[in-house]
């Protein structure tokens, strides 16, 4: 267990900025996830912590001590690799014992510790198997056992579930979280899968373009995205244009007055509003706005029924495509493209952003 | 930022660069500089090059070299391409047998072929005497046509194996599409299949050409007044002993320039032809019937048997009863007892030098391949490039460079044996590196990272994880470099002295003395250990054909 602090970290590849002024704090024993699209710098950050890259500036401290001068093999951080990286020429036992032998742990202790950790990852009977006799999920458990058996100060995981099939991914996700909590080991986890990030983490840190966009609890990330990028990347979102006319703020798609939702002092030049698809309700034909709901007239583009819910795509008069995720309604599912509908949404679920790729949230 | 000690692989990279500079770049530069020196005055001059390009003796040698090089390559293509096409596209009995024989031809020492042909078609050869019995005089093997014949039969496996590999990777849909669009089988072959495998054919051909240009043994044994640049360089070196070998090195530099120009031209042509092909639709083999079937079988088996003929003759000859240099009829083991009595040291030296070189090659090729594959620096790019150089530098050039750089009394005085080991090491290193590199490319970098992450320092991670994973490639590379090291002739002839005689040199000298029985017995020993190594390569290599290229 250890507290990890990263302070002003910069990493350049030639002229390309891979990491730009990264500062985060990972509390001792917590599960901290780096989430972002590919190329956002999350894996670079993880590998810099592991010591596979040298940063150009900034510090990484574990329990207050800088680890910058330590080569990768002295850092005492365990790592679980995306492609498992199980040594194919060594048995499960020898794979797990590898790090302990490097640390000159007495052989009797190696034996008992390897046995214990293999029980933890439910591979107790597999000690003498060779890696090619194991499934992908079992190999990844060996990878996890091998990383935690050395009792590292920090555990790093680089998309450990991304090579597994969907069903196994969900099962192993819960198991990883349970083991992490049982051991209370400080964990930094990299993924591009938002569902995985929200389900497992104490803190989710969204990265984009080598910059941290927001680091917060899963709930805050979802409900209070710090900027437009986070609002788009985590969960889906409908962005609707708004017009400013003096003190008036109106929704372009319906002309609804939204002035009361955003004070004039908070308004930059370009503003966009966002409504989550699950907040959008679809009604056939025309419907009027109410005191607490906006109503947006539109026509059906596509309806897909996917079992538990239906997804409706509709085009507004101003040409914006909106998505609604709602309970299945036979009256809507039967509609043909072009049929008039009205989408309504609660006024208090409309949030505003400065209108740019990473524009800040205004409310 | 804290200053770190240079890491392990940086130190290794520096070590490799230093080794390559000392053993490869310096000797070649010495040779290059020496070609601009006047032998009498020691002053800088272009005179040596002027002499080569104005005196008939050298000009003829230049033309002869190009002549036998080009025709030998052409011959190799004329045998290799049809052979590849037949084995890749038709059902053929004994396909594995054909490729095994082709590989044996490829790895057998070249000079053995030359002198075996003397025993068949020489002035006193079996076939020559046979026809003489009927009063028919057939042309002997000596001269340009003999050299071309030997090159053709010796070098066609390169074209064959490269083309066959490429043909097996051509998506059948291309050929089907051509047929669907109205091509006859012959048009389909010339317009679609041949252009698609052209890069492989040209690579095979360029290997043949470079080897033919640099070959010393064949023209030396079969030339009889027909001189090529390599025999001229060697003769010049011999006559200039004691003085500066300026003419020898000038001629050598021209040989090297021809090889480099040829390679450069081929690369230029290939750069415009890059075909990506997905192997979704594997080629199928056609079943032939009737006379076509007989003709194709006859051609394929005939070619490899003809190419194997010299080897068989050598082995046969080694068991003939001899009295001194004379064959007295019947079988006997005199030749073998003679090599054990007269030249046991040649056998011992050959194994000692080749094994010592291979130990160095194995160690260096594992380190070099790691630096090439895993380290993305300018230095690793330079090392990768330098690994091509020994293929292009004729043995004569390397050896003269070694002698002028390391001969005792000079700055780095080295003993002859050490020089030979280092010569084999540097000339055959690329065989080890290439095989190890292709093995390492299949190992994911995360393997070593995992070991390092678990607390293993770089050297430990390399020894405990990387080495076991690239072991098959390392073994194949070591075997290949052993085969080529123990068969080395042209460089050894320049460097050797009385105490460092090797088997190839002894064979060469015995052939010049007409001691064919002794030469045959020594050649059989060489062929035997080559054969054992080939068998071992078959055991360890993933793809047995491409391991030899």
**Complete DSSP assignment for B292-315:** HHHHHHHHHHHHHHHHHHHHHHHH
Same domain? A268 vs A194: no
Same domain? A218 vs A272: no
Question: Which of B255, B244, B248, B256 minimizes the C-alpha distance to B407?
Answer: B244
Judged by CB atoms closer than 8 Å, whether chains meet at A81 and B450 is answered as yes
Judged by CB atoms closer than 8 Å, whether chains meet at A85 and B450 is answered as yes
A89 CA to chain B: closest CA distance, Å?
Answer: 7
Same domain? B408 vs B474: yes
Chain B residues within 8 A of A74 when measuring between CB atoms: 455
Best residue of A99, A100, A110, A113 to probe chain B, by most B CBs closer than 10 Å: A99
Question: Which of A144, A140, A111 minimizes the C-alpha distance to A128?
Answer: A111
pLDDT over 60 (residue A235):
yes
Q: Which of A159, A192, A225 is at the close of a domain?
A: A225
Measure CB to CB from residue B455 to each of A86, A87, A102 and give the nearest one: A102
Same domain? A38 vs A122: yes
Do the beta carbons of residue A96 and residue A148 sit within 8 Å?
no
Same domain? A64 vs A196: yes
Same domain? B121 vs B253: yes
The answer as to whether A230 is a domain residue is no
Q: Does A8 touch chain B (CB under 8 A)?
A: no
Measure CB to CB from residue B446 to each of A81, A98, A103 and give the nearest one: A81
Question: Which of B479, B528, B484 minimizes the C-alpha distance to B339?
Answer: B528
Same domain? A71 vs A197: yes
- Euclidean distance between CA atoms B232 and B216, whole angstroms: 10
Same domain? B235 vs B375: no
pTM for the full predicted model: 0.83
- Strand bridging mode A248-251 / A271-275: unpaired
Q: Which of A225, A252, A271 is at the close of a domain?
A: A225
Same domain? B404 vs B309: no
- Tell me what percent of the residues of chain A surpass a pLDDT of 90: 75
- Euclidean distance between CA atoms B79 and B44, whole angstroms: 47
Same domain? B236 vs B381: no
Q: Does A89 touch chain B (CB under 8 A)?
A: yes
| Domain boundaries, position B398 | 319-549
The dihedrals phi and psi of B525, each to the nearest 5 degrees, come to -60, -45
B94 CA to chain A: closest CA distance, Å?
Answer: 35
**Strands of A351-354's sheet in order across:** A248-251, A238-245, A271-275, A351-354
Structure tokens at B413: 């005085």
Give the pLDDT confidence score for residue B425 in this predicted structure.
96
Same domain? A188 vs A260: no
Give the pLDDT confidence score for residue A254 in this predicted structure.
87
The answer as to whether A92 is a domain residue is yes
Same domain? B385 vs B305: no
The answer as to whether B25 is a domain residue is no
Question: Which of B533, B486, B480 minimizes the C-alpha distance to B506?
Answer: B486
The answer as to whether A359 is a domain residue is no
Judged by CB atoms closer than 8 Å, whether chains meet at A72 and B453 is answered as yes
B446 CA to chain A: closest CA distance, Å?
Answer: 6
- Euclidean distance between CA atoms B147 and B228, whole angstroms: 10
Task: Look up residue B272 and give its DSSP letter.
Answer: T
Judged by CB atoms closer than 8 Å, whether chains meet at A71 and B444 is answered as no
The dihedrals phi and psi of B539, each to the nearest 5 degrees, come to -70, -40
Q: Does B498 touch chain A (CB under 8 A)?
A: no
The answer as to whether A361 is a domain residue is no
The answer as to whether A362 is a domain residue is no
Provide the number of structural domains found in chain A. Answer: 2
- Euclidean distance between CA atoms A359 and A355, whole angstroms: 6
Give A352: exposed, middle or buried? Use CB within 10 Å, 0-12, 13-18, 19+. Answer: buried
- How much is the average pLDDT of A173-179? 92
Give B515: exposed, middle or buried? Use CB within 10 Å, 0-12, 13-18, 19+. Answer: buried
Give A338: exposed, middle or buried? Use CB within 10 Å, 0-12, 13-18, 19+. Answer: exposed
Do the beta carbons of residue B349 and residue B419 sit within 8 Å?
no
Same domain? A209 vs A140: yes
Contacts of B39 (CB under 8 A, 6+ apart): B240, B243, B244, B246, B247
The answer as to whether B26 is a domain residue is no
Q: Scan residues 147-176 of A and list those with Cβ closer than 8 Å to B.
A: 147, 150
Instruction: Give the residue ranges of DSSP H helices in A149-202.
Output: 166-183, 194-200
Do the beta carbons of residue B372 and residue B384 sit within 8 Å?
yes
Task: Look up residue A192 and give its DSSP letter.
Answer: S
Question: Which of A341, A320, A323 minimizes the C-alpha distance to A241?
Answer: A320
Kindly identify which residue of chain A lies nearest to residue B447, measuring between CA atoms.
Answer: A85
For residue B39, the Cα-to-chain-centroid distance in whole angstroms is: 32
Measure CB to CB from residue A68 to each of B2, B453, B458 and give the nearest one: B2
Same domain? B308 vs B323: no
The dihedrals phi and psi of A235, each to the nearest 5 degrees, come to 75, 170
Structure tokens at A115: 């046995």
Do the beta carbons of residue A299 and residue A339 sit within 8 Å?
yes
Contacts of B72 (CB under 8 A, 6+ apart): B147, B148, B150, B151, B152, B155, B208, B209, B212
The dihedrals phi and psi of B495, each to the nearest 5 degrees, come to -95, -35
Give the pLDDT confidence score for residue B183 in this predicted structure.
82
Do the beta carbons of residue A321 and residue A301 sit within 8 Å?
yes
User: Among all chains, which residue has been given the structure tokens 């068991």?
Assistant: B319
Do the beta carbons of residue B428 and residue B361 sit within 8 Å?
yes
Same domain? A312 vs A337: yes
Same domain? B356 vs B299: no
pLDDT over 60 (residue A139):
yes
Whole-Å CA distances, A320 to A242, A349, B94: 12, 19, 70
- How much is the average pLDDT of A210-215? 95
The answer as to whether B260 is a domain residue is yes
Same domain? A187 vs A38: yes
Kindly identify which residue of chain A lies nearest to residue B471, measuring between CA atoms.
Answer: A89
How many Cα atoms within 13 Å fall on the side-chain side of residue B442?
Answer: 13
Judged by CB atoms closer than 8 Å, whether chains meet at B453 and A103 is answered as no
Same domain? A41 vs A167: yes
Q: Which of B298, B314, B330 is at the close of a domain?
A: B314
Same domain? B277 vs B384: no
Give B319: exposed, middle or buried? Use CB within 10 Å, 0-12, 13-18, 19+. Answer: middle
Judged by CB atoms closer than 8 Å, whether chains meet at B453 and A98 is answered as no
Same domain? A137 vs A220: yes
Q: Which of B262, B289, B314 is at the close of a domain?
A: B314
* Segment B465-512, tens digit of pLDDT: 999 999 988 998 899 899 989 999 989 998 998 889 999 999 999 888
Supply the CATH number for residue A244's domain: 2.40.50.140
The answer as to whether B14 is a domain residue is no
The answer as to whether B330 is a domain residue is yes
The answer as to whether B40 is a domain residue is no
| Domain boundaries, position A61 | 4-225
Q: Which of A225, A256, A286 is at the close of a domain?
A: A225
Q: Which of B314, B342, B361 is at the close of a domain?
A: B314
The answer as to whether A108 is a domain residue is yes
Torsion of CA B335, B340, B345, B348, to 10 degrees: 100
Q: Does A104 touch chain B (CB under 8 A)?
A: no
Structure tokens at B251: 């001629």
Same domain? B302 vs B345: no
Supply the CATH number for residue B187's domain: 1.10.3720.10
SS3 content of chain A, % helix, strand, coil (to 5): 30, 35, 35
Supply the CATH number for residue A9's domain: 3.40.50.300
ipTM (interface predicted TM): 0.84
Same domain? B199 vs B307: yes
B548 CA to chain A: closest CA distance, Å?
Answer: 26
Give the pLDDT confidence score for residue B5 in this predicted structure.
61
Q: Does B472 touch chain A (CB under 8 A)?
A: no
The answer as to whether B486 is a domain residue is yes
- Tell me what percent of the residues of chain A surpass a pLDDT of 70: 100
Same domain? A139 vs A246: no
Provide the number of structural domains found in chain B. Answer: 2
Provide the total of helices (H) and of strands (E) in chain B, helices listed first: 27, 2
Same domain? B94 vs B236: yes
User: Among all chains, which residue has been given the structure tokens 């090599």?
Assistant: B339
DSSP code per residue over B393-419: S-HHHHHHHHHHHHBBTBTT-B-HHHH
- Euclidean distance between CA atoms A295 and A318, whole angstroms: 14
Q: Does B513 touch chain A (CB under 8 A)?
A: no
Tens digit of pLDDT per residue, chain B (549 long)?
344 567 889 999 999 999 999 999 999 998 899 899 888 887 888 888 998 888 999 999 999 999 999 999 999 999 999 999 999 888 888 888 898 889 888 888 877 888 888 888 887 777 888 888 887 777 778 889 999 999 999 999 999 988 988 888 777 777 778 778 878 878 888 888 888 888 889 888 998 999 999 888 899 888 888 999 999 988 888 887 767 788 888 998 999 899 889 888 888 877 776 665 555 567 778 888 888 899 999 999 999 999 999 899 899 888 988 887 778 888 888 889 888 888 889 999 999 999 999 999 999 999 999 999 998 888 888 998 899 889 888 888 899 889 888 875 555 667 889 999 999 999 999 989 988 998 898 899 999 999 999 999 999 999 999 999 999 889 988 998 999 899 999 899 989 988 899 999 999 998 888 888 888 999 999 999 888 888 888 888 766 666 666
């Amino acid at each position: 267990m250890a507290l990890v602090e990263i302070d002003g970290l910069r990493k350049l590849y030639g002229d390309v900025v891979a990491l730009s002024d990264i500062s985060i704090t990972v509390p001792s024993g917590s599960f901290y996830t780096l989430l972002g699209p590919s190329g956002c710098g999350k894996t670079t950050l993880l590998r810099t912590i592991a010591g596979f890259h040298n940063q150009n500036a900034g510090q990484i401290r574990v329990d207050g001590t800088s680890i910058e001068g330590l080569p990768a093999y002295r850092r005492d951080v365990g790592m679980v690799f995306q492609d498992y990286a199980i040594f194919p020429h060594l048995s499960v036992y020898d794979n797990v014992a590898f790090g302990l032998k490097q640390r000159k742990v007495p052989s009797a202790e190696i034996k008992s510790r390897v046995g214990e950790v293999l029980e933890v990852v439910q591979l107790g009977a597999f000690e003498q198997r060779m890696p090619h006799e194991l499934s992908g999920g079992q190999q990844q458990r060996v990878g996890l056992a091998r990383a935690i058996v050395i009792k590292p100060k920090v555990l790093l995981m680089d998309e450990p579930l991304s090579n597994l099939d969907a069903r196994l991914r969900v099962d192993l996700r819960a198991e990883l979280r349970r083991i992490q909590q049982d051991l209370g080991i400080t964990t930094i986890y990299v993924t591009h899968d938002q569902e995985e990030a929200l389900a497992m983490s104490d803190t989710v840190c969204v990265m984009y373009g080598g910059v941290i966009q927001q680091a917060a609890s899963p709930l805050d990330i979802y409900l209070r995205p710090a900027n437009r990028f986070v609002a788009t990347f985590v969960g889906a979102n409908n962005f609707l244009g708004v017009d400013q006319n003096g003190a008036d703020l109106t929704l372009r798609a319906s002309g609804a007055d939204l002035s009361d939702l955003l004070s004039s002092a908070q308004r930059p030049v370009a503003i966009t509003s966002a409504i989550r698809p699950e907040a959008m309700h679809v009604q056939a034909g025309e419907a009027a706005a109410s005191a607490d709901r906006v109503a947006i007239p539109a026509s059906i583009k596509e309806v897909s029924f996917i079992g538990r819910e239906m997804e409706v795509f509709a085009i507004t008069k101003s040409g914006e495509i909106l998505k609604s995720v709602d309970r299945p309604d036979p009256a809507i599912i039967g509609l043909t493209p072009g049929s008039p509908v009205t989408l309504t949404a609660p006024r208090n679920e409309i949030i505003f952003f400065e209108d740019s790729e990473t524009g800040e949230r205004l409310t | 930022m804290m200053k770190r000690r240079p890491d392990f692989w940086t130190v290794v990279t520096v070590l490799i660069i230093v080794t390559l500079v000392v053993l490869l770049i310096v000797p070649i530069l010495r040779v290059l500089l020496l070609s601009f020196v006047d032998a009498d005055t020691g002053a800088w001059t272009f005179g040596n090059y002027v002499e080569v390009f104005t005196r008939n003796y050298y000009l003829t040698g230049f033309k002869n070299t190009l002549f036998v090089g080009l025709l030998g390559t052409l011959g190799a293509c004329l045998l290799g391409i049809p052979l590849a096409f037949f084995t890749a596209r038709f059902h053929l009995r004994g396909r594995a047998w054909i490729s095994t024989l082709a590989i044996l031809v490829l790895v057998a020492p070249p000079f053995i072929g030359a002198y075996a042909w003397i025993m068949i078609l020489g002035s006193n050869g079996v076939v020559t005497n046979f026809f003489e019995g009927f009063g028919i005089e057939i042309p002997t093997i000596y001269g340009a046509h003999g050299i071309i014949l030997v090159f053709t039969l010796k070098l066609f496996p390169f074209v064959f194996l490269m083309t066959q590999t490429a043909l097996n990777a051509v998506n059948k849909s291309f050929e089907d599409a051509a047929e669907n669009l109205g091509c006859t089988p012959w048009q389909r072959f010339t317009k679609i299949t041949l252009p698609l495998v052209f890069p492989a054919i040209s690579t095979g051909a360029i290997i043949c050409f470079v080897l033919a240009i640099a070959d010393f043994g064949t023209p030396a044994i079969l030339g009889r007044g027909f001189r090529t640049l390599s025999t001229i360089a060697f003769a010049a070196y011999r006559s200039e002993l004691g003085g500066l070998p300026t003419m020898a090195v000038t001629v050598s530099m021209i040989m090297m320039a021809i090889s480099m120009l040829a390679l450069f031209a081929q690369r230029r042509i290939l750069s415009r032809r890059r075909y990506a092909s997905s192997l979704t639709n594997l080629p199928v083999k056609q079943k032939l019937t009737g006379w076509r079937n007989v003709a194709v079988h006859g051609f394929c088996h005939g070619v490899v048997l003809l190419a194997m003929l010299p080897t068989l003759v050598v082995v046969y000859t080694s068991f003939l009863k001899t009295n001194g240099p004379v064959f007295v009829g019947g079988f006997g083991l005199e030749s073998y007892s003679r090599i054990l009595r007269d030249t046991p040291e040649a056998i011992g030296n050959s194994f000692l030098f080749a094994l010592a070189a291979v130990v160095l090659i194995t160690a260096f090729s594992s380190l070099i391949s790691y630096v090439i594959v895993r380290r993305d620096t300018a230095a690793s790019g330079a090392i990768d490039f330098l690994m091509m150089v020994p293929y292009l530098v004729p043995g004569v050039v390397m050896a003269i460079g070694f002698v002028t750089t390391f001969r005792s009394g000079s700055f780095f005085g080295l003993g002859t044996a050490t020089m030979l080991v280092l010569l084999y090491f540097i000339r055959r290193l690329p065989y080890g590196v290439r095989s190890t590199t292709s093995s390492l490319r299949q190992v994911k970098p995360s393997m070593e990272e995992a070991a390092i992450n678990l607390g293993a320092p770089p050297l430990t991670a390399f020894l405990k994880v990387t080495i076991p994973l690239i072991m098959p490639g390392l073994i194949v590379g070591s075997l290949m470099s052993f085969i080529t090291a123990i068969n080395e002739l042209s460089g050894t002839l320049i460097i050797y002295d009385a105490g460092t005689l090797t088997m190839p040199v002894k064979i060469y000298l015995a052939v010049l003395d007409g001691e064919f029985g002794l030469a045959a017995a020594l050649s059989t020993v060489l062929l035997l250990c080559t054969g054992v190594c080939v068998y071992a390569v078959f055991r360890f290599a993933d793809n047995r054909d491409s391991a030899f290229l």
